[in-house]
Structure 1
Amino acid sequence: MRSLSSSPHLAPLIVGLLVLVPRLATACSVCSAGRDEENRIAFIITTAFMTLLPLLLIGGLAFWLWGRFRALDEQHPGSPAAAESVTEA
């Protein structure tokens, strides 16, 4: 069995790969996408959607919980939680 250090072609291959790897790392899959107006608008809309979606989901959950707690307080006016809210006001 031959060892890796005895291969005369292995060292130049490794050096060549190490030289080319940084060029691969700087490659961008969407570099040409910003040139087209339609693609630019699509990226802006997608970014806005992905930014607002979590905020809307959290806000919707908070609004639903608030409405649910109000409905439960109206159904059970004598509960301790309802009595505390009356004494605080």
Structure 2
Amino acid sequence: MLKFFKYLAITEGISAILLFFFAMPMKYIFDNPIFVKHIGMAHGVLFTAYIVVATILKFSQKWNFLKYLEICVASIPPFGTFYIEKKYLKNA
């Protein structure tokens, strides 16, 4: 499950970067919202899956609340999940 979470974290991070640095500029600078629709949907699904799997792992891995909170909060800013992958999931 940790290995799956590692790949999920990387994929969620990539989707956030694509959303913030490609799709949103395409929408607001070039008036082309189609990328936000598709990339935004993928990012939303991946974000939700990340939080759900983190919650499952909190109980199965017996993470303390601060570690769990750090892992969940890191999913909000771009590049945050890459930090989590390096800090906690490197050897998964």
TM range (shorter): 0.3 to 0.5
Question: Over alpha carbons, which structure has the higher Rg?
Answer: 1
Task: Give me the TM-score of the superposition, normalised by structure 2.
Answer: 0.33
